[in-house]
């Protein structure tokens, strides 16, 4: 059958063999046009398109009737459930082909007016949306076609025909500024000065009336110049293109950057957009081993977005082949294609994930070619996501241990507050070097112009004009030159560059340079075809990179046409190939393109991206496109799915995703239960990341819904999250009351897991409120519930807490039995990390009891095991235990390197609390070695750090040790201040063993000046030990202080001395000969041995103690 011919520009007509076809209805014609353009389409889609406001059954019935009416025309082909148009030629596709090939003469003949003029089928809102989008598209195609045709005619000297085309465009849209300018210029070239003045006046009138603007000063000056000059034909000069000009004015910056990269840490290049940060970094690192990460503005809601993109590329290239299995499992939490992932719920999981990703990046870098240890180059840090921001300092520290620098680029005016905090943290550790990059100077711009033109002299005035217009911004300079080339205002011949104003200008002020880089880019965009602009617009919205199949789906192109568009835009310098597809050459291009989009068109494009690229978009990005496309409920569901996934992986973006889902859902007036559940999830996501203050408003809103909640489980969850919030705020009575209501609701609903978790939380509330015994019942019930549920890991956690409680209460046998039971459980379920925590508990107990030989043996076994599996928490536990035991054994020289390694590891992992612990113990070792000034400085820094961290559980130990040092340095007043603070802290925490140590140190400090107070303090130290049976660090010291205080006061101290000697003998008996020798050589221990050797033994050393103590 002969082919159909569709003429769709203007009033639509369809013909076959020169005979016009008469369609019975508007919707019939709409159906035929849609299928001709879109290709084969399912019936359901057509029914929705043309009768979307009707029920589905009615819409399909109408479609069947329409097909019957069209059957005589033989326009539609039916294949099962699919409809397609018969073979056809379309004027719009011919027009686009002509534009794409640059056949402007052919394109002119095909331009015919508005797409489907007059076709407005009623009751088809989705078709109307599609129609409006297509009209805008073909309107742009025709503007591009006629503009370029006019330029070609002008270049050939056919000014009249060129003018007619510009006037034709202005008749349809008077807001086309380039057409006004061209019409003024062509009137002038035709000698029609009056017409030129009238056209310019019309241009001014349109600007003022429709846009409330005045013509730019450059345009006014240019017009005044035209009025004063005699017309002359423009020279036919070759146009040039500037895509990657040589660098100028960056020699010093490059030298500084090279020097900075020789040291460890983060080197941060800062400056305004377009100033050349990325290019300077890339060219400085040329030849070096390097790995690049690039943040995307659109991917800020995705955790580790740039990291994942880079690692996927490395994985595909085989760059992770040498990655250790333990880190492969950690990284698999982000990249499932790596294999089985480590559990996100395991203890220390977040830290291990950060280390795993750091090891991945460093392994991928090591696999790259190039010289040196390498550089990790992280671009566009102004768009870094929260999870990557948490990784950054960890990565910088880990990279520094391998001699690898991290080089970052960030816009100085868009630097996020979180990045500033990371910079401050790294700066304190001497791991930051910031290099601000300024715009080019006027001399630099002149050198660049001369280099580009090939003329070593001249161009002074022209370069100064360019510098004034762009502020020396390199991107602004390049885009302005490109703009001037494309307009024909700047050209090059054998003698160098030329402009129409060279002969009679004083400052090139007549040169029509747009007032900003953005306007320069906008002017260049106007000269592209509509399909090219659409491609760039989608690239701006999708960001990360467009692949050819994406363009096929988004623009409904063939694979060949999509590839051709990308190739042209790449050749023109608009796009460049990247790891995940074709992206815009510079982020600023994307911002300009987005700013051009009208609201409805932008929304339509976002909807298209969300739906047609759904299979490849991460859920959080799809949610963003759905939201910006106006599909709020679909967006809320997508955000919620993304939030839950992020929360499971402990990504820091989870709360933000929950908040977006919450905001969108609330707009639809949800059921109270639905809203309450989402508020609870949102609050929990904040709490899991330690952001309790951010969680609180969501908790309060959920609690306010309680009177409207009928579902018992939902009520229980609200009560439970309210209890957690109250506990974190220290409101223990309120926390207990809320949790009891949660337990009541869970029990009434038969929700056993919720009950078990609430019982576990209740035990914490009792502990935090200072009622250790109150933990017994809820912990026992929680253990029973977890066992019933088969949750062995949670059961082991509860058993571990209960074991610790019994140890604290003095029931050693019961505590050990529970501890052993917990250990057996974690071994049975393969929880190696939790097992090592329990082993560290064992070793700590041995240290507390003075069993230092066993403690060291267990610490060494723990260290070997933890190192084999790269368990950093386990490694630090072992190093801390080794340091503690060696200090107790008077082997500070052995302890010091162990504690140095502990401090270095904690610092490299960003664990400031653990680093402070290591430094406190290190100061103790220095004190033992007699390096008192070093020790005092270390103690001072550690206390300052622990105060900043509000680490009340550890600062007391540091204060006691520092106080004893100050006593020995002859500063009793300072020592007393420190020790009093420590005693008050331990008393408030009911840590009786540690309180006894603080009181003992106070007694020793004040005894020379106030023996009576010293005796009172020493006696009290004994008293507070009543019932404390787990072990008391420095028991011999406490007994010795009581002995000295009693002797000084003229009392009998022999029983206290005997107790000190008995403790000394008990500890020494279990040591190796070498350990025993160093232990007994401690100055305090020598005193005890000497005094006890010359003193008569009391009847019973326990006589000094309250009944039942020790």
**The pLDDT of residue 1105:** 40
403 or 207: which leads in pLDDT? 403
Per-residue pLDDT, 758: 92
Question: In Å, how far are 96, 216, 228, 262, 532 from 519, measured between CA atoms?
Answer: 26, 11, 28, 41, 18
pLDDT tens digits, residue range 697-713?
A: 999 999 999 999 999 99
Determine the Cα angle at 188 with ends 187 and 189, to 5°: 95
Residue 46 CA to residue 55 CA, distance in Å, equals: 14
Higher-confidence position of 298 and 93:
93
Please tell me the predicted confidence (pLDDT) of residue 500: 65
Question: How far is the C-alpha of 253 from the C-alpha of 432, rounded, in Å?
Answer: 17
Supply the DSSP symbol for 208. I
| Integer CA distances (angstroms), 917 to 428, 605, 749, 879, in order | 18, 55, 46, 11
Asked if 251 and 505 touch (Cβ cutoff 8 Å), the reply is: no
Q: What is the pLDDT of residue 647?
A: 82
What confidence score (pLDDT) does residue 108 get?
92
pLDDT digits (tens, 9 = 90+) for 170-219: 888 888 888 888 888 888 888 888 888 888 888 888 888 877 777 766 56
The mean per-residue pLDDT over the stretch 296-321 comes to: 84
Residue 80: per-residue pLDDT: 84
Q: In whole angstroms, what is the distance from residue 177 CA to residue 216 CA?
A: 11
315 three-state secondary structure: helix
- CA–CA dist 282, 269 (Å, integer): 12
Query: Residue 174: which residues within 8 A CB-CB, separation 6 or more?
Result: 202, 206, 210
pLDDT tens figures, 780-791: 999 999 999 998
Give the model's pLDDT for residue 450. Answer: 79
Give CA separation, 87 vs 23, 37, 75, 300, 559, in Å.
Answer: 17, 11, 9, 46, 20
Q: What is the pLDDT of residue 1108?
A: 35
Cβ pair 376, 365 in contact under 8 A? yes
Q: Which two tokens stand for residue 748?
A: 């009434």
| Structure token pair of residue 530 | 């509509």
CA atoms within 13 A on the CB side of 741: 19
Would you give the distance in Å from CA 422 to the centre of its chain? 13
Q: Look at residue 382 in the predicted model and tell me its pLDDT.
A: 92
Average pLDDT value for residue range 717-729: 88
Contact (CB, 8 A) for 721 and 735:
no
pLDDT of residue 217: 65
Give the C-alpha separation, 112 to 142, whole Å: 8
Q: Helix %, strand %, coil % for the chain, to 5?
A: 65, 5, 25
- Residue carrying structure tokens 């609050």: 683
Using 50, 70 and 90 to split pLDDT, how confident is the model at 376?
A: very high
CA distance 31 to 48: 12
| pLDDT single digits (tens) 102-142 | 888 889 999 988 999 888 888 888 888 889 888 888 988 89
Band of pLDDT at residue 768, cut at 50, 70 and 90 = low
CB-hemisphere CA count at 13 Å for 206?
16
Cβ proximity of 15 and 112 under 8 Å: no
Top pLDDT among 589 and 863 is at 863
Report the pLDDT value the prediction gives residue 1007, as an integer from 0 to 100: 93
Beta bridge partners, 577, equal 582
> Residue 452: which pLDDT band, with cuts at 50, 70 and 90?
confident
Per-residue confidence (pLDDT) for residue 1064, from 0 to 100: 92
Contacts of 1096 (CB under 8 A, 6+ apart): 1054
Write down the pLDDT at residue 431: 92
Q: pLDDT exceeding 90 applies to what percent of the chain?
A: 39
CB-based contact 440:471 (threshold 8 Å): no
- Which pLDDT band, with edges at 50, 70 and 90, does 316 fall under? confident
Interatomic CA distance for residues 318 and 315, integer angstroms: 5
Rg (CA), the chain: 39
pLDDT for 279 beyond 80: yes
Range in 362-366, 606-610, 994-998, 1100-1104 the model is least confident about = 1100-1104
pLDDT value for 475: 82
Structure tokens at 710: 């009928």
pTM of the model: 0.61
pLDDT band at 222, cuts 50/70/90?
A: low
The pLDDT, as a whole number, for residue 502 is 63
* Backbone phi and psi for residue 343, each to the nearest 5 degrees, phi listed first: -75, 130
pLDDT recorded at residue 941: 93
Angle at 231 between CA 229 and CA 236, to 5 degrees: 120
Specify the higher pLDDT residue, 628 or 494: 628
Residue-by-residue DSSP string for 95-139 = HHHHHHHT-HHHHHHH--SSBTTT---TT-HHHHHHHHHHHHHHH
pLDDT score for 893? 95
pLDDT at 872 over 60: yes
> Sheet containing 4-7: which strands, arranged edge to edge?
19-20, 13-16, 4-7, 88-90
Q: How are beta strands 371-379 and 405-411 bridged, if at all?
A: parallel
Q: How confident is the model at residue 238 (pLDDT cuts 50, 70, 90)?
A: very low
Confidence check: pLDDT of 471 > 50: yes
Q: Is the C-alpha dihedral spanning 86, 92, 93, 98 positive or negative?
A: positive
Cα-Cα end-to-end distance for the chain: 107
Average pLDDT over the chain reads 85
Nearest to 1093 by CA among 1106, 1080, 1102: 1080
Q: Kindly provide the residue ranges of all beta strands, DSSP E only, lying in 393-487, ordered along the sequence.
A: 405-411, 432-436
Query: Across residues 855-884, what is the average pLDDT?
Result: 91
- Location of structure tokens 């267990």: 858
Lowest mean pLDDT among 72-86, 294-308, 448-462, 603-617: 448-462
Range 556-572 average pLDDT: 86
What would the mean pLDDT of 583-604 be, rounded to a whole number? 81
Query: For residue 1107, what pLDDT is reported?
Result: 33
Q: Tell me if 410 sits within 8 A of 328, measured CB to CB.
A: no
Identify the sign of the CA torsion 307, 311, 314, 320: positive
- Which residues, other chains included, contact 217 with Cβ-Cβ below 8 Å and sequence gap of 6+? none
Is residue 393 helix, strand or coil?
Answer: helix
pLDDT at residue 1099, as a whole number: 42
Of 413-417, 468-472, 854-858, least confident by mean pLDDT is 468-472
């Amino acid at each position: 059958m002969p082919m159909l011919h569709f003429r769709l520009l203007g009033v639509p007509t369809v013909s076959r063999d020169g005979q016009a076809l008469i369609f019975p209805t508007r919707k019939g014609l709409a159906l035929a046009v849609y299928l001709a353009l879109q290709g084969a389409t399912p019936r359901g889609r057509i029914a929705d398109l043309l009768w979307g406001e009707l029920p589905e059954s009615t819409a399909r019935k109408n479609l069947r009737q329409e097909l019957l009416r069209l059957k005589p025309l033989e326009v539609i082909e039916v294949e099962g459930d699919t409809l397609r148009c018969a073979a056809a030629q379309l004027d719009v596709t011919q027009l686009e082909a002509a534009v794409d090939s640059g056949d402007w003469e052919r394109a002119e003949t095909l331009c015919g007016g508005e797409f489907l003029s007059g076709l407005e089928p009623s009751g088809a809102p989705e078709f109307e949306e599609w129609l409006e989008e297509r009209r805008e598209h073909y309107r742009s195609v025709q503007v591009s076609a006629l503009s370029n045709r006019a330029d070609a005619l002008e270049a050939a000297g056919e000014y009249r025909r060129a003018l007619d085309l510009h006037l034709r465009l202005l008749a349809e849209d008077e807001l086309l500024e380039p057409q006004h300018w061209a019409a003024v210029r062509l009137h002038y070239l035709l000698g029609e000065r009056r017409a030129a003045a009238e056209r310019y006046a019309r241009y001014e009138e349109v600007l003022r009336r429709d846009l409330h603007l005045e013509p730019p000063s450059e345009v006014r000056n240019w017009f005044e110049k035209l009025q004063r000059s005699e017309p002359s034909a423009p020279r036919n000069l070759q146009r040039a293109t500037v895509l990657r000009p040589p660098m100028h004015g960056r020699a010093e910056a490059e030298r500084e950057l090279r020097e900075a990269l020789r040291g460890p840490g983060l080197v941060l290049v800062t400056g305004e957009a377009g100033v050349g940060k990325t290019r300077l970094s890339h060219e400085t690192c040329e030849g070096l081993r390097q790995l690049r990460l690039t943040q995307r503005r659109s991917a800020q809601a995705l955790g580790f977005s740039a990291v994942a993109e880079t690692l996927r590329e490395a994985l595909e290239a085989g760059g992770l082949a040498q990655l250790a299995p333990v880190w492969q499992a950690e990284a698999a939490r982000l990249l499932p294609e790596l294999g089985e992932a480590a559990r996100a719920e395991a203890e220390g999981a977040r830290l291990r994930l950060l280390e795993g990703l750091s090891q991945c990046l460093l392994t991928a870098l090591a696999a790259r070619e190039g010289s040196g240890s390498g550089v990790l180059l992280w671009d566009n840090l102004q768009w870094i996501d929260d999870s990557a921001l948490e990784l950054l300092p960890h990565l910088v520290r880990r990279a520094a241990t391998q001699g690898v620098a991290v080089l970052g680029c960030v816009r100085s005016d868009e630097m996020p507050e979180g990045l500033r905090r990371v910079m401050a943290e790294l700066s304190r550790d001497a791991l930051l070097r910031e290099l601000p990059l300024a715009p080019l100077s006027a001399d630099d711009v002149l050198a660049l112009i001369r280099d580009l033109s090939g003329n070593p002299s001249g161009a002074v005035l022209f370069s100064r004009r360019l510098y004034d217009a762009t502020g020396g911004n390199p991107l602004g300079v390049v885009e302005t030159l490109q703009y001037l080339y494309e307009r024909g205002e700047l050209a090059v011949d054998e003698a160098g560059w030329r402009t129409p104003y060279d002969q009679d200008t004083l400052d090139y002020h007549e040169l029509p340079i747009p007032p900003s880089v953005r306007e320069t880019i906008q002017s260049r965009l106007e000269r592209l075809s509509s399909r090219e602009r659409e491609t760039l617009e989608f690239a701006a919205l999708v960001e990360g990179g467009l692949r050819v199949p994406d363009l096929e789906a988004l623009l409904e192109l063939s694979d060949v046409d999509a590839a051709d568009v990308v190739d042209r835009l790449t050749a023109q310098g608009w796009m460049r190939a990247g790891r995940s597809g074709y992206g815009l050459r510079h982020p600023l291009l994307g911002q300009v393109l987005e700013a051009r989009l009208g609201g409805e068109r932008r929304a339509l494009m976002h909807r298209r991206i969300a739906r047609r690229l759904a299979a490849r978009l991460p859920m959080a990005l799809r949610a963003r496109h759905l939201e910006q496309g106006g599909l709020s409920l679909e967006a809320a569901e997508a955000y919620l799915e993304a939030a839950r996934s992020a929360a499971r992986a402990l990504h820091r973006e989870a709360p933000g995703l929950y908040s977006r889902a919450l905001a969108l859902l609330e707009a639809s007036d949800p059921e109270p239960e639905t809203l309450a559940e989402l508020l609870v999830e949102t609050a929990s996501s904040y709490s899991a990341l330690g952001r309790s203050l951010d969680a609180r408003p969501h908790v309060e809103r959920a609690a306010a819904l309680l009177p409207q909640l009928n579902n018992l489980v939902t009520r229980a969850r609200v009560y439970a999250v309210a209890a957690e919030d109250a506990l974190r705020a220290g409101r223990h009575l309120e926390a207990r009351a809320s949790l009891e209501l949660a337990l009541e609701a869970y029990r009434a609903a038969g929700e056993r897991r919720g009950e078990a978790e609430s019982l576990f939380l209740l035990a914490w509330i009792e502990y935090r409120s200072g009622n250790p015994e109150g933990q017994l019942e809820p912990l026992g019930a929680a253990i029973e519930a977890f066992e019933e549920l088969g949750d062995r890991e949670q059961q082991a956690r509860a058993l571990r807490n209960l074991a610790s409680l019994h140890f604290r209460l003095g029931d050693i046998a019961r505590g050990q039995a529970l501890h052993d039971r917990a250990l057996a459980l974690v071994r049975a379920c393969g929880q190696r990390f939790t097992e090592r925590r329990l082993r560290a508990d064992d070793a700590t107990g041995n240290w507390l009891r003075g069993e230092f030989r066993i403690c060291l043996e267990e610490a060494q076994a723990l260290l070997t095991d933890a190192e084999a599996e790269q368990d950093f928490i386990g490694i630090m536990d072992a190093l801390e235990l080794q340091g503690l035991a060696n200090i107790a054994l008077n082997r500070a020289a052995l302890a010091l390197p162990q504690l140095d390694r502990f401090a270095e590891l904690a610092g490299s992992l960003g664990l400031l609390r653990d680093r402070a612990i290591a430094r406190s113990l290190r100061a103790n070792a220095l004190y033992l070695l007699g390096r008192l000034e070093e020790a005092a400085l270390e103690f001072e820094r550690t206390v300052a750090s622990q105060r900043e961290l509000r680490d009340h559980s550890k600062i007391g130990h540091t204060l006691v040790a520092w106080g004893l040092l100050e006593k020995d340095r002859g500063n009793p007043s300072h020592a007393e201040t420190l020790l009093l603070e420590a005693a008050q802290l331990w008393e408030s925490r009911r840590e009786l063993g540690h309180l006894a140590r603080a009181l003992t140190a106070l007694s020793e400090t004040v005894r020379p000046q106030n023996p009576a107070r010293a005796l009172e303090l020493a006696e009290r130290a004994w008293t507070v030990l009543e019932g404390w049976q787990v072990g008391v660090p420095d028991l011999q010291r406490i007994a010795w202080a009581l002995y000295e205080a009693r002797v000084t006061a003229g009392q009998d101290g022999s029983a206290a001395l005997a107790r000190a000697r008995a403790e000394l003998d008990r500890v020494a008996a279990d040591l190796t000969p070498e350990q025993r020798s160093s232990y007994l050589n401690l100055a305090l221990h020598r005193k005890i041995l000497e005094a006890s050797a010359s003193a008569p033994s009391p009847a019973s050393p326990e006589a000094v103690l309250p009944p039942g103590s020790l």
